[in-house]
């Protein structure tokens, strides 16, 4: 099992990071909470989780170990796969997710793409006890400040739309959310965060 990778960010294309580790490039899918803190050329440690299937091996990476722990916990919930788990962590911070589970806030959970009412109820039931211990040690990360991101796409707007679609939002939903906030931001990371925030209202 690959527990973490230490290397240099070689390329970024939301939500995938290409990490150069001693000359070997690892493709790592990340939640946007991690992706928005990375920039090309940055030396970084990503805490990783490897998913092995018959037709593929996929690495998932996180900027801190607690986010990785939450990801693994989400995967234990019936019906939650890696894509949905990434979507949850991209839409909700670790702190907000724990708060949402503790307070039975179904309305917030169902705003995550791909999470319907039944899935949200299952998440509430299966995660409540597991999150109690985590809630005591979670630091506030809701307003994490992202560094400037160097995207491979030419347009920050196009990159933001692609990032939202990777979470499971429909193209029309992503375009509408980005269009509503793009005038106020020039960086893709800021557009993504603002669009996510607007869709959670």
Placement of tokens 């019906």 in the chain: 79
Q: Is the pLDDT of residue 109 over 80?
A: yes
Distance CA 90, CA 74 (A): 13
Round to the nearest angstrom and report the end-to-end CA distance of the chain.
39
Q: pLDDT per residue over 118-141, tens digit each?
A: 999 999 988 987 777 565 555 444
Return the bridge partners of 13, or none.
16
Q: What is the mean pLDDT of the chain?
A: 83
Distance CA 97, CA 112 (A): 11
Distance CA 156, CA 169 (A): 18
Length of the chain: 201
Q: pLDDT per residue over 144-196, tens digit each?
A: 333 333 333 346 787 788 788 777 787 888 888 888 988 888 887 788 888 88
Nearest alpha-carbon partner for 148 in 4, 2, 9, 6: 9
Q: Is the pLDDT of residue 71 over 50?
A: yes
Range with the largest mean pLDDT of 10-19, 87-96, 108-117 = 10-19
Q: Is the pLDDT of residue 107 over 80?
A: yes
Residue 134: the pLDDT is 60
Q: For CA atoms 195, 87, 4, 57, give the dihedral sign.
A: negative
Which segments of the chain does DSSP mark as H helices, in order? 32-35, 65-75, 82-91, 94-102, 106-109, 117-135, 156-167, 171-181, 188-199
Residue 172: the pLDDT is 85
């Amino acid at each position: 099992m690959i527990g973490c990778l230490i290397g240099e960010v070689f390329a970024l294309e939301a939500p995938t990071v290409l990490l150069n580790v001693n000359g070997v490039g690892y493709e790592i899918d990340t939640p946007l909470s991690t992706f928005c803190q990375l920039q090309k050329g940055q030396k970084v440690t990503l805490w990783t989780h490897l998913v092995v299937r018959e037709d593929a091996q996929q690495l998932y990476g996180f900027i801190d170990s607690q986010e990785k722990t939450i990801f693994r916990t989400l995967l234990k919930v019936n019906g939650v796969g890696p894509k949905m788990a990434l979507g949850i962590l991209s839409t909700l911070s670790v702190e907000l997710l724990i708060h949402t589970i503790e307070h039975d806030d179904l309305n917030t959970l169902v705003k995550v793409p791909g999470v319907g009412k039944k899935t949200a109820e299952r998440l509430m039931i299966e995660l409540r006890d597991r999150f109690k211990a985590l809630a005591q040690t979670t630091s506030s990360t809701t307003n994490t400040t992202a560094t400037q991101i160097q995207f491979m796409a030419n347009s920050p707007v196009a990159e933001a739309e692609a990032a939202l679609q990777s979470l499971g939002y429909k193209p029309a939903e992503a375009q509408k959310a980005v269009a509503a906030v793009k005038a106020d931001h020039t960086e893709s990371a800021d557009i993504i965060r603002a669009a996510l925030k607007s869709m959670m209202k």
